[in-house]
């Protein structure tokens, strides 16, 4: 078994038994990246020098007989939307080319304090706007299970890197499904925590009321370990919630007898790929065999989710992205007549098509005469969606749905049809609008051997309950153990 194919918890055991060093592990990861990343295109930037320095510090700590945490010495990939001190951070956008933050995002600082080893910055859809990682300003990332297909988005680089064993785990962000959807496409585990559970300080904003940082990992145990590492109150983030963080590893119990699981009728609709439907039905049977009680529920406002999301997120993007003007940092056009011309040309040349589309949409829905009709109305319906979930959780403990309506589609297949692309997130968007947590775990494969994801949704700050249900499913199936063949 190659070191790069192991999990965080397996490698932690090897490190503390001194059967392997962090330096050896880091060498194995960079060797793996050199072997496969020219096919995948997951990384925008490698931080090799820093990684070896971090690994040597952990090796010294171990050799000195000092204790280490679960993440010490473990190579982690970082989505290029999180600020890293002294390391270029671009959001996969040309408008931020050359931007080097002078501080770490809080989640980066937390992982640094845990002794994690940072491998590099991972590709994404520009400013996290997309479902396929085809909107990156620099390169297209490919799915390790089929190089002709998308890895999902916007955290496509993170999911592909974990799926291809180019890091042991990764950080992503989720605004409308951007952790869970690529996790499903690449056959890995991805969690979107409760809004306010993980600090957004140092996360470059797309839609501030929706964005949340979360982990992508090889299994549910690793997801719990990563959640322990990044969760907690941060006074630097005004949306951070000051409540205690449990030890998520304590929820990893292989027993869900009697737990009530809701199946929302609105999620099993026309347009779902038959292979996805079949895999989810089989997953429901597995839960029933494990002693769970499955009940049918209704989330009646689900049909409005995509429309609401694309009003709210574009409005917030329009506001957040107004700061990129070529004056203080990042890209600036080379030739211009005056200040206004510089603004216009910088933004025209620096932003990609999808970002421009969303800025225009957002500016429209916030404009005089349209604010009441669109943004205000969307905010009101968002409240109704949250109430749907509140009602559902009075009767059930978790809700299960497909993560995506189809397995990963072909690169280029939906580029010319934005609406079809937006519908890729139809099952994940309601969770962000309600601010609740959800996880995607592997639950099967299509006829073309493409991974299928199962989404488990919980109530506010009940990540532990989600992890328990996910762990129980994982312990009784082997989908998470299957790996793509990148040698062909």
Annotated catalytic residue, options 55, 93, 154, 199:
154
Say if CB 240 and CB 208 are below 8 A apart. no
Q: Select which of 79, 109, 192, 468 is catalytic.
A: 79
Element (H or E) spanning 215, and its range? strand 212-217
Q: Is 468 a catalytic residue?
A: no
Query: Which residues neighbour 312 within 8 Å (Cβ) at sequence distance 6 or greater?
Result: 207, 209, 210, 375, 378, 379, 382, 433
In order, the DSSP letters of 98-135 are T---SS--HHHHHHHHHTPEEEEEEP-SGGG--SSS--
Q: 169 and 162 in contact (C-beta within 8 Å)?
A: yes
Q: Is 154 a catalytic residue?
A: yes
Under 8 Å CB-to-CB from 228, ≥6 apart: which residues? 70, 245, 247, 248, 249
- CA 394 to the chain's CA centroid: 28
Element (H, E) at 55: helix 48-63
199 is catalytic: no
Structure tokens, 265: 């009728």
Contacts of 39 (CB under 8 A, 6+ apart): 142, 147, 486
Please tell me whether the peptide bond between 154 and the residue prior to it is cis, using omega within 30 degrees of 0: yes
**Among the options 55, 132, 158, 178, which is catalytic?**
178
- Identify which of 477, 475, 473 has the alpha carbon closest to the alpha carbon of residue 261: 473
As a whole number of angstroms, the longest Cα–Cα distance in the chain is: 71
Residues with catalytic function: 79, 154, 178
């Amino acid at each position: 078994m190659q070191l790069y194919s192991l999990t965080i918890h397996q490698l932690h055991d090897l490190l503390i038994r001194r059967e392997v060093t962090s330096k050896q592990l880091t060498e194995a990861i960079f060797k793996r990246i050199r072997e496969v990343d020219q096919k995948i295109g997951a990384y925008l930037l490698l931080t090799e020098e820093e990684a070896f320095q971090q690994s040597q510090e952990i090796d010294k700590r171990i050799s000195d007989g000092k204790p280490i945490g679960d993440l010490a010495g473990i190579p982690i990939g970082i989505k290029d939307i999180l600020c890293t001190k002294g390391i270029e951070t671009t959001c996969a956008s040309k408008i931020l080319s050359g931007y080097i933050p002078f501080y770490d995002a809080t989640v980066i600082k937390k992982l640094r304090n845990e002794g994690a080893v940072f491998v590099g910055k991972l590709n994404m859809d520009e400013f996290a706007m997309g479902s396929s990682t085809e909107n990156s300003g620099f390169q297209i990332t490919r799915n390790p299970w089929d190089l002709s297909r998308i890895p999902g988005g916007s955290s496509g680089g993170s999911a592909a890197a974990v799926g291809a064993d180019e890091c042991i785990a990764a950080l992503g962000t989720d605004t409308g499904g951007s952790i869970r959807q690529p996790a499903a496409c690449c056959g890995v585990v991805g969690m979107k925590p409760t809004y306010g559970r993980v600090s957004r300080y140092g996360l470059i904003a797309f839609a501030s009321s929706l964005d949340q940082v979360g982990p992508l990992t090889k299994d549910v145990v690793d997801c719990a370990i990563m959640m322990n590492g990044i969760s907690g109150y941060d006074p630097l983030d005004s949306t951070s919630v000051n409540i205690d963080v449990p030890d998520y590893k304590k929820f990893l119990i292989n027993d869900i007898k009697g737990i009530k699981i809701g199946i929302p009728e609105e999620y099993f609709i026309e347009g779902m790929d038959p292979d996805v439907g079949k895999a989810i039905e089989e997953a429901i049977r597995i839960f029933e065999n494990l002693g769970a009680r499955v009940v049918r529920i209704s989330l009646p406002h689900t049909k409005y989710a995509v429309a609401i999301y694309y009003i709210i997120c574009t409005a917030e993007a329009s506001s957040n992205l107004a700061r990129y003007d070529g004056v203080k940092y990042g890209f600036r056009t080379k030739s211009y007549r005056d200040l206004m011309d510089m603004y216009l040309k910088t933004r025209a040349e620096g932003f990609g098509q999808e970002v421009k589309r969303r800025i225009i949409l957002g500016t429209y829905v916030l404009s005089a005469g349209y604010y009441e009709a669109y943004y205000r109305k969307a905010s009101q319906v968002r409240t109704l969606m949250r109430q749907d979930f509140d009602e559902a959780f009075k009767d059930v403990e978790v809700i299960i749905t497909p993560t995506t309506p189809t397995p990963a589609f072909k690169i280029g297949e939906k580029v010319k049809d934005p609406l079809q692309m937006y519908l890729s997130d139809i099952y994940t968007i309601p969770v962000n609008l309600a601010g609740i947590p959800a996880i995607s775990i592997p639950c099967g494969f299509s006829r073309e051997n493409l991974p299928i994801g199962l989404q488990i949704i919980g109530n506010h700050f009940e990540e532990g309950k989600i992890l328990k249900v996910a762990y129980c499913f994982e312990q009784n199936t082997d989908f998470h153990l299957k790996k793509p063949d990148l040698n062909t």
